[in-house]
Amino acid sequence: MKATAKINALKSAESKNVVVRNLSRILDIRILDIDLERKTLSFVCDSRSAFEKAKKELWRIGYPILQCHIQNPQGMDNIAAQDNEALLVQ
C-alpha cells in the first residue's frame, strides 16, 4: 500500500536525512519521496503493521504524522492521525 503523510516538523535537509536514516531500518517500507515544501512523506509499505511501525518510529524521533492518506490495492482508505492514533475515515 502507498501512504502519503503530512508531517509539519519536516523543515530542512537535516530533518529529511533523520527521517530517511530511521525509516530505512524498517525493512517492510520503501520511501518514495520527501517533499519539504509541502511537508509530506510518501512511502510504500507491505502491510498495516509496517505502516504502524513507521508511524511509531516517526513519533519516536519527533516527526509525528498529523494526517495520512493510504491507498491499497483494494481501494482508497483515508486515515487521519490525531494525537498519534490513526482513525479510519470512510
Q: For residue 10, give the CATH number of its domain.
A: 3.30.70.100
Q: What is the domain extent for residue 42?
A: 2-89
Look up the pTM and report it: 0.78
Q: What is the mean pLDDT of residues 52-78?
A: 83
Side-chain half-sphere exposure of 83, counting CA atoms within 13 A: 0
Does the pLDDT of residue 68 top 60, yes or no? Answer: yes
Entry field: residues in the chain: 90
Give the number of domains in the chain: 1
Q: Cβ of 43: how many Cβ atoms within 10 Å?
A: 21
Per the CB < 8 A criterion, the answer to whether 43 and 23 are in contact is: yes
What single letter denotes the amino acid at residue 26?
A: I
Q: What is the mean pLDDT of residues 57-65?
A: 97
Q: What is the pLDDT of residue 71?
A: 87
Per the CB < 8 A criterion, the answer to whether 59 and 84 are in contact is: yes
Q: What are the pLDDT digits (tens) for 31-45?
A: 999 999 999 999 999
Q: What is the mean pLDDT of residues 69-84?
A: 55
Q: What is the pLDDT of residue 73?
A: 54
Does the pLDDT of residue 53 top 60, yes or no? Answer: yes
